[in-house]
Amino acid sequence: MKNQESDFSKIVDAGVSRRRFLQGGATAMGMFLAANPVAQAVAASTQPESKLLGFTKVATSTADTFVVPEGYVARPLISWGDPILKGAPAFNENGQQPASAQAGQFGDNTDGMSFFPLTEDRALLAVNNEYTNYKLLFDHKGQAMTADDVKKAQAAHGVSVFEIKRTADGWDYVSDSDYNRRITAYTEMQLTGPAAGHDLMKTGADASGTKVLGTFNNCANGETPWGTYLTCEENFNGYFAAPGEGVELDQHQKRYGLKAKDRGYQWYKFDDRFDMTKEPNEPHRHGWVVEIDPMDPTSTPLKRTALGRIKHENAAVTVADNGHVVVYMGDDERGEHIYKFVSANKYQPGNNAANRNLLEDGTLYVARFDAAEGDVKGKGQWLELTYGKNGLDSSNGFNSQAEVLIYAREAATVVGATTMDRPEWVAVHPQTKTVCCTLTNNSERGVKPGQPVGGPNPRAENKYGQIVRWREAGGDNSATTFDWDLFLVAGNPTIHKDFYAGSANINDENMFNSPDGLGFDQAGRLWIMTDGKYSNMESYAGMGNNQVLVADPETGEVRRFATGPIASELTGLTFSPDQRTVFIGVQHPGEKDKPSHFPAGGNSKPRSTIMVVQRKDGGIIAA
């Protein structure tokens, strides 16, 4: 462990102390560096050639297709509306299929996903279905909603679990498998942990505060060593409304982005759960990490309140050397925070009956990143979010651990957590246990109070994003202190000659904006997926459609692996155990009426789709 820590220190020192700014003439560079010491610190050093990246880089693209490197092949596995339950009808793009059809079909807007092996040639995929686009879901484009339409929209959300099998052409999904399951916005779930049963969790439909219907806006994911799937509830606030004149929301509701005005989903009109004037506590029952057993289609999903209520992006799980389970989480909103949960009990290999309760009890922390002025590396501390500690008591409005967890964002503010540039996916290196998190962008940085420029958020009105990296003290993922640096700073070096060009491992051949999805493969390659601006104009000129990139964590080299179709986000990433197949999600192609017809082409309706990517020679992906 000592050697791993030393290796991390060498990587950080090499990346920061030897960094030099490569853009512009000597005079202009000198003037800029003198005025901006942060740019001087972040500009990257010349990297040695990567031994991990063995594929030919892909150029940017604005085409309505999914592009992979030379020597690779990609094909659709499943698309929104494909049937996965027995008796479900085939997809009809006329927008007139009822809720009962969608309830048996693959959900919309595929996002985070995980691969669960059954045998060498069979497996389950558990996939998030984040939201839906009414212009595509309904023939009336959401302008004449009925109760069944709301039920249909709710059925398009949640999670899809389905079997896949290896074939001569790669992998296909099994439409009639007994494992297949849809988990939607009206599936019954159980609340567990400290907040379960609290008065703030009780509603007219559930006086116990322990049973809740549904999960929705499921963004990214995680998987546990005991074989369960973690789905993360992100922008749950957008589904609630408080109709009527003069409704004033309280500080708790405002902090979580709840508004009186409907955002367009119109669920409150036909489902009282989403009318806050009737059920003010219902929003407290969403914004959690949900644990699902993909192997048992009859199992009840469990909302794990010990992990806190935020706008969860993903849940990156690792086992610390001392046996405690650690879950890293980002809260995806401008000026919010990075969290860590450490289980009270230890993981017991082979004893899944005991392991199934590890996420029910533990300690939640939130991160503070410290740095000297102008530095983009430093120390950090995990601040405990426990009732009675660090000011989390009645003097600051908290009366129990349940309230600390229900209002985790406010607790994070009380203890002094660092506000971040939209923390999204977190990933843990499989060997070194170093942790990375995408900070996708933040137009409010340096503009809004409480969001100063500095440390891991070094640019005002950040439109490009960055990736922060840290290593826990002693290599112990359950530790309460860490060292951090910036792995990369995205930018556009073709139009900027200052810090907005990005770090120097970003160039005109690999530039991108808004890193979002993130994951390591078994060899330690860092996979980066983007959800950014695809206008290909002005600040984003030359970047093309959203993309997948692969980076070498040691050398810093970044190489583009894939590009998506028009107006899509590339998100969701999982590998087969042999690392010879990668599954990548294409979300919302053709959003905002952009001219996409992916994947079927012609004049077809665009559909979110999971792509299967393999090498033609059957080799290891990206090697």
3-state per-residue secondary structure call for 224-256: CCCCCEEEEECCHHHHCECCCCCCCCCHHHHHC
- Please list, in sequence order, all residues whose beta carbon lies within 8 angstroms of the beta carbon of residue 3, skipping any fewer than 6 positions away: none
- Please list, in sequence order, all residues whose beta carbon lies within 8 angstroms of the beta carbon of residue 298, skipping any fewer than 6 positions away: none
- What the block records as the tokens of 419 is 């506000």
Q: In angstroms, what CA-CA distances link 87 with 100, 101, 175, 295? A: 11, 9, 10, 21
| Cα distance between residue 254 and residue 585, in whole Å | 32
Whether the Cβ atoms of residue 367 and residue 383 lie closer than 8 Å to each other: yes
- What the block records as the tokens of 434 is 């170093």
DSSP 307: G
Give 314-327 pLDDT, tens digit per residue.
999 999 999 999 99
- Please list, in sequence order, all residues whose beta carbon lies within 8 angstroms of the beta carbon of residue 86, skipping any fewer than 6 positions away: 104, 176, 180
pLDDT of residue 48: 67
Give 177-197 pLDDT, tens digit per residue.
999 999 999 999 999 999 999
Spatial CA neighbour of 114 closest among 317, 364, 320? 317
Polymer length in residues for the chain: 623
By CB atoms closer than 10 A (0-12, 13-18, 19+), residue 228 is buried
pLDDT of residue 354: 93
First to last CA, the chain: 27
Q: Which residue's entry shows tokens 């659709």?
A: 76
| Cα distance between residue 144 and residue 140, in whole Å | 6
| Cα distance between residue 562 and residue 614, in whole Å | 12
Whether the Cβ atoms of residue 515 and residue 490 lie closer than 8 Å to each other: yes
Q: What is the pTM of this model?
A: 0.94
**Radius of gyration of the chain, Cα coordinates, nearest whole angstrom:** 23
Q: Which residue's entry shows tokens 């020597």?
A: 71
Report the chain (623 residues): mean pLDDT per 10 consecutive residues. 46 39 29 38 55 97 98 98 98 98 98 98 98 98 98 98 95 98 98 98 98 98 98 98 93 97 97 98 98 98 98 98 98 98 97 95 98 95 98 98 98 98 98 98 97 97 98 98 98 95 95 98 98 97 98 97 98 98 98 97 98 98 98
pLDDT of residue 7: 52
Spatial CA neighbour of 468 closest among 506, 425, 521, 498? 425
pLDDT of residue 504: 84
| Cα distance between residue 146 and residue 153, in whole Å | 11
